């Protein structure tokens, strides 16, 4: 006999076809790449210049930060703005698409706080 609790948990996912599942997988892989979420979070919290990202993301190298900013720009999640001045000024900001992604990831942030083993009380 099927467990009724298991059926309740899977019922909302039965309508998802294989193509939607592949699309979801691609989206999760973009957000789940190492440092991507941290870069997006820094962007949402106001980082605009490269040095601001570096100061807000502990442990990321310049090379990896540059790579992630470029990838997120390529996916339309961050916009790179070049101001033709002397010297040239480059800034980054979240696009509407990037902000939308962070809004839907916010429940995951809350879930991680509640379920991170490092936050568990000793026992």
CA distance linking residue 29 with residue 45, whole number of Å:
22
Which residues, 6 or more positions from 42, have their beta carbon under 8 angstroms from its beta carbon? Answer: 52, 53, 56, 57
Q: Decide: pTM greater than 0.75.
A: yes
Tokens of 49: 């210049």
Residues 6-40: tens digit of each pLDDT: 555 666 777 777 887 888 888 889 988 999 999 99
Which residues, 6 or more positions from 80, have their beta carbon under 8 angstroms from its beta carbon? Answer: 69, 73, 90, 91, 92
Q: Which domains does the chain have, with CATH numbers?
A: 30-113 (1.10.10.10)
Alpha helices in the chain (DSSP H): 4-10, 18-32, 36-44, 50-56, 62-74, 96-115
């Amino acid at each position: 006999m099927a467990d009724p609790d298991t059926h309740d948990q899977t019922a909302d996912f039965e309508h998802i076809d294989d193509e939607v599942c592949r699309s979801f997988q691609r989206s999760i892989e973009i957000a789940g790449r190492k440092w991507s979420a941290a870069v997006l979070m820094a962007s949402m919290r106001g980082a605009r210049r490269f040095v601001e990202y570096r100061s807000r993301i502990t442990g990321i190298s310049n090379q990896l930060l540059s790579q992630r900013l470029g990838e997120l720009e390529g996916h339309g999640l961050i916009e790179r703005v070049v101001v033709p001045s002397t010297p040239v000024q480059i800034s980054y900001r979240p696009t509407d698409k990037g902000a939308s992604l962070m809004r839907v990831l916010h429940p995951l942030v809350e879930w991680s706080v509640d379920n991170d083993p490092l936050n568990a009380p000793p026992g």
